[in-house]
A and B are shown apart, each in its own frame.
Chain A
């Protein structure tokens, strides 16, 4: 294996002032104000769904698909829960993530397509076919269809299709969530993204929120880990 190519364009911003300020804001909410539930430290988005439909959570960061999920959960509720769940669905609204000092921003999710190197493919890689598949997959039409209820299309031109219009008409609150798109920041397209998003950043948050580290230390620690990750194999 060849030595990894240097990637000079990448700089680690996880411990810049803005990132630290954001982390500090989380700490203020969780530690100082206690304005978020204790379980927010470890909860995943899915784990917020049940308390939300039970009327126990006032607000959560949610996905465009969350409304459909809530309707589904309300449909399954029984007895006294049913009334509460119906009320929650009835009163549910989407809003935009608030604007920070610099601007409004949200990190995009996304999905990856990997094409395996020729040498690893039994019988050889048909590169043309792979490319064709990607073209099809990321086409305005297919990407809109793929994301029908779940998310927004990956191809911007997908927004101009007739299906997108149909979605906007039929799926509640999609207009609100879609209007957040211009504030979106895509994650750097590097293989290490998963580890950074799923491990390093949550660790940083937990380190700070549990006061195991100061905001400063947690951010620097995370940045160092990212540097190490990018420098390694």
Chain B
């Protein structure tokens, strides 16, 4: 942004109010820049902007089940009303919040712990790092199926092990149970994405200036104090970004809950996104599903705003 403001203000339109250049002028001044981004912009418009627009439009309509959208009926905000007043909305929203909060929290904590553990030199560090990265690179679909069988209430490996080790006398019921299903899914999700947090924080750790750590060492800080006073503050930015990205991913995560439970049993693991899919493609209520998607979209945009803020905070600081 700094390119568009600053000296140009003075140089190009002395008449304008200080600190402001007419939008038109700015566009003209940067016409070649716009030309360069035009192809990418066009593609974005086609594949992103139009679907978003169409989703928002559909959210104001009652739609027939047969995909013939010219038969749709305008109903204003009825779809939103239907969703917000439906009994399941509260339940699904609570599930979504639990899912997002705990997935993000534990993925971040576990990832940080792994990153810190891997940051020091020890024998087999490279191997460990590669092993811990496996969940992240494994296909989510494949992992979901594997976990589904590991968890299986009658023939699952985990249940069998628990019985063999004498921890329980019955295989553990992870997924066919309304109270344990969501935590069980969160475990899989955390397993799947903690390596992402790990990679991010490992990168962050590598940028902690060696000199600062040494200065703290000379200043008499213990390893723990060095972590609190140097490493931890340094990681704040990357932590923010990581947490936000995890949150966005979790709000939007579909593969694991969909494949493992489809939102069941009895809706106990239904989150917004599985609900939207169900409404749209299970029950063919495109209007209601669109309204749901718009609600999700608004939440994501708010998160996105904070993400961009976290990303650009450094720039602003430098521009000061």
| Co-complex (A, B) | yes
Asked whether any CB of chain B lies closer than 8 Å to the CB of A92, the reply is no
Q: Give A173-212 as 1s and 0s: 1 = Cβ < 8 Å from B's Cβ atoms.
A: 0000000000000000001000100110011001101101
Would A42 and B178 be within 8 Å (CB), given that A1-B73, A56-B154, A233-B73 are in contact?
A: no
Asked if B171 and A41 sit within 8 Å, CB to CB, the answer is no
Asked if B282 and A41 sit within 8 Å, CB to CB, the answer is no
Q: Give A19-51 as 1s and 0s: 1 = Cβ < 8 Å from B's Cβ atoms.
A: 000000000000000000111011000000001
Contact partners of B73 in chain A: CB under 8 A? 1, 233
Asked whether any CB of chain A lies closer than 8 Å to the CB of B9, the reply is no
Asked if A191 and B65 sit within 8 Å, CB to CB, the answer is yes
Asked if A42 and B176 sit within 8 Å, CB to CB, the answer is yes
Asked if A41 and B176 sit within 8 Å, CB to CB, the answer is yes
Asked if B153 and A120 sit within 8 Å, CB to CB, the answer is no
Q: Give B270-288 as 1s and 0s: 1 = Cβ < 8 Å from A's Cβ atoms.
A: 0000000010001110000
Contact partners of A198 in chain B: CB under 8 A? 282
Find A233's partner among B64, B173, B264, B268 (CB 8 Å cutoff).
B64
Contact partners of B267 in chain A: CB under 8 A? 203, 206
Separation of A233 and B153 alpha carbons in the complex (Å): 39
Shortest CB–CB separation between residue B83 and chain A, in angstroms?
15
Find A38's partner among B64, B171, B261, B282 (CB 8 Å cutoff).
B171
Shortest CB–CB separation between residue B147 and chain A, in angstroms?
14
Contact partners of B265 in chain A: CB under 8 A? 41-42, 206, 209-210
Shortest CB–CB separation between residue B159 and chain A, in angstroms?
9
Find B62's partner among A41, A51, A233 (CB 8 Å cutoff).
A233
Contact partners of B154 in chain A: CB under 8 A? 37-39, 51, 56
Asked whether any CB of chain A lies closer than 8 Å to the CB of B71, the reply is yes
Q: Give B115-159 as 1s and 0s: 1 = Cβ < 8 Å from A's Cβ atoms.
A: 000000000000000000000000000000000000011110000
Separation of A187 and B275 alpha carbons in the complex (Å): 26
Q: Give B162-185 as 1s and 0s: 1 = Cβ < 8 Å from A's Cβ atoms.
A: 000000000101011110000000
Q: Which residues A101-142 have CB closer than 8 A to chain B?
A: 120
Asked whether any CB of chain A lies closer than 8 Å to the CB of B68, the reply is yes
Asked whether any CB of chain A lies closer than 8 Å to the CB of B40, the reply is no
Shortest CB–CB separation between residue A201 and chain B, in angstroms?
13
Would A212 and B282 be within 8 Å (CB), given that A37-B154, A39-B176, A233-B62 are in contact?
A: no
Separation of A233 and B286 alpha carbons in the complex (Å): 12
Contact partners of A233 in chain B: CB under 8 A? 62-65, 73
Separation of A209 and B267 alpha carbons in the complex (Å): 13
Shortest CB–CB separation between residue A30 and chain B, in angstroms?
10
Find A199's partner among B65, B152, B175, B283 (CB 8 Å cutoff).
B283
Would A1 and B282 be within 8 Å (CB), given that A51-B155, A210-B178, A212-B266 are in contact?
A: no
Asked if B173 and A38 sit within 8 Å, CB to CB, the answer is yes
Would A210 and B64 be within 8 Å (CB), given that A1-B73, A42-B176 are in contact?
A: no
Separation of A199 and B285 alpha carbons in the complex (Å): 13
Shortest CB–CB separation between residue B160 and chain A, in angstroms?
11
Contact partners of B171 in chain A: CB under 8 A? 38
Contact partners of B65 in chain A: CB under 8 A? 191, 233
If A1-B64, A42-B264, A210-B265 are given as contacts, then 6 extra A-B residue pairs at C-beta distance below 8 Å, sorted by A number, are A39-B152, A39-B154, A42-B261, A195-B284, A199-B278, A206-B266
| Chain A residues in the interface with B (C-beta under 8 A) | 1, 37-39, 41-42, 51, 54, 56, 120, 191, 195, 198-199, 202-203, 206-207, 209-210, 212, 233
| Chain B residues in the interface with A (C-beta under 8 A) | 62-65, 68, 71, 73, 152-155, 171, 173, 175-178, 261, 264-268, 278, 282-284
Q: List 30 A-B contacts (CB under 8 A).
A: A1-B71, A38-B154, A38-B171, A38-B176, A39-B154, A39-B176, A41-B153, A41-B176, A42-B176, A42-B264, A51-B154, A56-B155, A120-B68, A195-B282, A195-B283, A199-B282, A199-B283, A202-B264, A203-B267, A206-B265, A206-B266, A206-B267, A207-B266, A209-B266, A210-B177, A210-B265, A210-B266, A212-B178, A233-B64, A233-B65
Q: Which 5 A-B pairs have the closest CB atoms?
A: A38-B153, A206-B266, A41-B176, A37-B154, A1-B71
